[in-house]
Structure 1
């Protein structure tokens, strides 16, 4: 297959490149394929005729999105529309990557694919939700894959931040303990996407590691798996203010993966232990 991967140098994009290396890959730079430039996107897809587009390009700095909303919506919302229209025009199957932040986090259970997103708290979440809607309205052969609390090689993420903080010699690290979600490796997310491409499913899928944790729980497990003796102190969201509000509940249920009878995602603790050697 000929697969176009947008955002191929990003955190998830790097893993997707490794996962699909046996295929013919189109890996344009942001200069060669600026998703906010509709004419350039259409031209690139017409000339290269991908069978599949995995759209992982996004403006993912949540706090920066809050400060630069126009850029966030241009990339995450308009960019997704441009990619979706190009996919429709070229007959490509589109896999769009989205986020747990499309939900407001007020539900008292994990969100399933059948829960309708409402009132995302941050500009990032709002722009990603509009991106989802643009994909659904702009092409007919699409899958939206929501991921959560991603970490992996080759980019800034919570694991790399915690390890860097520990190496700096901080006697203790304060970590929020009242936001919960599903820590998920890029390796697991890419594997789920590969399995989805073996089906003809169209719709929304959650692809997160099983089990839940707070950021505090996640940090403790990072240091345990890395063999680092680091004091971690829990704090509240209010004690650690950020420009962008975060949902208290980011848990996603992988209901559709089960309905498709695809292999289950690994427990997040087991997956973190498996990946830690590559992350240290």
Structure 2
């Protein structure tokens, strides 16, 4: 199967390139296929003629998107529109990577794939929600795959930030305790997508986050525990740690479609984190 991956040099794209063995892979990064240029995207896809496009290219720094909203909309919304149109023209299935942040976090339970997003709380979320809508409108043969709290090889990610901050120069690190979600490794997402590629009948929306839940505070404590780092972590509220972009308090995603289909079982977040940190020690 021919599989093209946009954003192939990014954190998830890199993991996908290393995981999807057995397929003919085409790594497309900005130098090869700038998704904000519609004619270029179409010409690249027409040349490759991929069976599937996994669209990872995005502006993912949530706070940067808030300060550079034009760039966020251009890359995330307009760029995805171009990819969806090119997939439809060339007959490729589109697997578009999206985010938990399309929900506002006000629900008192995990969000499933049938809950209606409201566009989220920040520019990043709104641009990604617009991207989802473009995919559904322009490319019927699609799968919107929502991920969350992602970390992977080389970062940047929360895991890398916590390890960097625990350099022995800080007596304590304050971490938000009132935002809850599903810490998820790129390896877990890539493994799920590898299985999904064998099931072309799966279309629509799917949540690909690890099982279990944690606050950022609990996530940080587990990182240090598994790394064997003696670092004091102090919980704080979102109000006590303001950021340019507002985050939802509830980012939990239920994997209802995966369970309904029986295609794949996501690992627990603690197991995935342990596997990731163990692999880092070997490098």
The equivalent of 1:201 in structure 2 is 202
Tell me if the contact between 1:14 and 1:154 (Cα under 8 Å) persists in the aligned partners. Answer: no
The equivalent of 2:2 in structure 1 is 2
Structure 2: tracts of 5 or more residues without a match: none
Correspondence 1:1-150 to 2 at 5 A: 1-150=1-150
Tell me if the contact between 2:120 and 2:126 (Cα under 8 Å) persists in the aligned partners. Answer: yes
- SS, match of residue 174 in structure 1: strand
Counterpart CA distance in 2 for 1:113 and 1:68 is: 29
The equivalent of 1:215 in structure 2 is 216
- SS, match of residue 94 in structure 2: strand
| CA RMSD of superposed structures (Å) | 1.0
- SS, match of residue 208 in structure 1: coil
Counterpart CA distance in 2 for 1:183 and 1:258 is: 19
Following superposition, which runs of at least 4 residues in structure 1 exceed 6 angstroms of deviation?
A: none
Counterpart CA distance in 1 for 2:73 and 2:99 is: 15
Deviation at 1:21, TM superposition (A): 3.6
Asked if residue 186 in structure 1 is aligned to residue 186 in structure 2, the reply is yes
- Length, aligned pairs only: 280
| Cα shift readout 1:157-209 (whole Å, capped 9, x = no counterpart) | 00000000002521110000000000000000111111111111110000111
| Cα shift readout 1:61-88 (whole Å, capped 9, x = no counterpart) | 0000000111101111111110011000
TM-score, structure 1 as length reference = 0.98
Deviation at 1:34, TM superposition (A): 0.4
The equivalent of 2:232 in structure 1 is 231
Counterpart CA distance in 1 for 2:168 and 2:83 is: 41
Counterpart CA distance in 1 for 2:215 and 2:229 is: 19
- SS, match of residue 101 in structure 1: helix
Structure 1: tracts of 5 or more residues without a match: none
Deviation at 1:263, TM superposition (A): 3.0
The equivalent of 1:270 in structure 2 is 271
| Cα shift readout 1:13-45 (whole Å, capped 9, x = no counterpart) | 110001114321111330220000001001111
Tell me if the contact between 2:119 and 2:129 (Cα under 8 Å) persists in the aligned partners. Answer: no
Counterpart CA distance in 2 for 1:33 and 1:179 is: 36
Counterpart CA distance in 2 for 1:29 and 1:18 is: 15
**Structure 1 279/242 Cα, relative in aligned 2: closer, same or farther at 3 Å?**
farther
